[in-house]
A and B are shown apart, each in its own frame.
Chain A
């Protein structure tokens, strides 16, 4: 299985809602990533988990809360979002190899619209 899956595919939420995005991989990868991608822009890194521990938080607002419950799952909890948070949210995973480059495999993304 060389796939990263993300659910839901589309999500519409109001500014007062709480929702969660889910990402799953079964490639045995021990690093997982959340990216945000606005239209016609490159992906921007939000968070990195390595061995289920948060390793990078790129100064993301606290209304985004990541969680890595186990080595295959990555969640992104959303609360009190703003319309400007509307974007494609991408999950990626990779091996963790000391000193060697690793490929990041991306999921199809969740298209989020905040009303």
Chain B
């Protein structure tokens, strides 16, 4: 029940195209859904995040779509650029009694944007 399933494992997109990564979860106790971007040799960086009472959130070229009834959410990267080439992790987090969040990560998607 703590799993977050992510697909595809890898993705190749042409420059200017749309990159789409999908995730699904089971545990309805998750209350926050962040996406992290990780470049080789670096730590994950928070990209965009959404709460389950919102169906869509857009920040620049990045959009999260959230379907609470289907327990699915996705990341869309519009006008994909070579600099977007990285590994993307979806995640689901749950508040703990101590006030911090416990994060469960998806398995990751390696995105390559080709010129």
Contacts and interface: CB of A to CB of B under 8 A. Distances in A.
Nearest to A107: B43
B108 A41 contact: yes
Interface residues of B, number: 27
A94 interface: yes
A55 interface: yes
A59 to B, nearest CB: 14
Interface in B29-70: 31-32, 34, 36, 41-46, 49, 51
A55 B31 CA distance: 20
A42 B5 CA distance: 12
Consensus secondary structure, chain A interface: loop
Interface of B: 31-32, 34, 36, 41-46, 49, 51, 89, 93, 95-96, 98-103, 105-108, 110
15 contacts: A4-B43, A6-B43, A42-B89, A43-B89, A43-B105, A45-B102, A50-B99, A55-B98, A90-B44, A101-B101, A102-B99, A103-B46, A108-B41, A108-B42, A109-B42
Interface of A: 4, 6, 31, 40-43, 45, 48, 50-51, 55-56, 90, 92, 94, 96-109, 111
